[in-house]
Amino acid sequence: MREPFRVLVVCTGNLHRSPLAERLLAFRLAPARGKFQVSSAGTAAVNGTPMDPAAALLLTEMGGDPTGAAARRLTAGVVGDAGLVLGAATEHREAAVRLRPVHGLGRAFTLREFARLLHEDDAAGLTDPAERAVALTRGAAVRRGASGGRSWDDDLVDPYGAPEPEARACAARIKEAVERIAAVVLG
C-alpha cells in the first residue's frame, strides 16, 4: 500500500471518547511508522473545540499525547476518506453509514464491536500492517451479525461531565479495545 490506512474514530462532540481513542490508537500503531493515519470527528462537534481536560489527563496517563487535539465535525468527505470507521456507540457508526452508505457499510463498526470481531486468520500470511488492517476490516464486516457475540457491550457511554470513576471506566474500555485492535493489526 502506498497511502496510509486511514482510521476514523467518531463520537458526539469529539471532545472525550473519540479523541482519546484516536490518540491512543495512533500511539499503539506507532511501530508501523507511516502505515496509518488516525483521526477523529464528532456528529455534533463544534470545529476547533479543545479536547476535554479530563480526557486529556486520562490519555496522558495511558501514554498518549493530547497536544493539539481539537474537535472536527463529521462529514461525508471525512467518512469517505476512511478505510475504517470506529464509532464510540452504535449511533455514531450509523451516522457514518448514513453519510456514505455504500462506502461506510462495510467499514463502519463501533470500537468495541470491531475489537470483538477481529480474527487473526483474516490476515494470515500478510506482514504489512496496513494490508493486515484492510483484510481484518473485510473479515470483521463479513462476520458482523453472525458472531452472536456480546453486542450489548459494544457501546461506550458518554463520560463527558461525568464523575471521575465513570470517565476512568470508559477510558479503560477504550484502552482494552484499542490494545486488542493494535495487537491484531500489527501481528
Assess whether 155 carries a catalytic annotation.
no
Q: Please tell me which residue in 65, 98, 121, 153 is annotated as part of the active site.
A: 121
180/187 Cα distance (integer angstroms): 11
Task: With CA atoms as reference, report the closest residue to 81 among 60, 54, 99, 55.
Answer: 99
CA angle 64, 66, 67 (to 5 degrees): 125
Assess whether 17 carries a catalytic annotation.
yes
Question: How far does Cα 80 stand from its chain's mean position?
Answer: 15
Q: Please tell me which residue in 11, 23, 52, 107 is annotated as part of the active site.
A: 11
104/180 Cα distance (integer angstroms): 22
Assess whether 168 carries a catalytic annotation.
no
Question: Quick check: 88 and 155 in contact, CB under 8 A?
Answer: yes
- The radius of gyration computed from the CA coordinates of the chain, to the nearest angstrom, equals 15
Q: Please tell me which residue in 6, 17, 116, 132 is annotated as part of the active site.
A: 17
Residues with a catalytic annotation lie at: 11, 17, 121
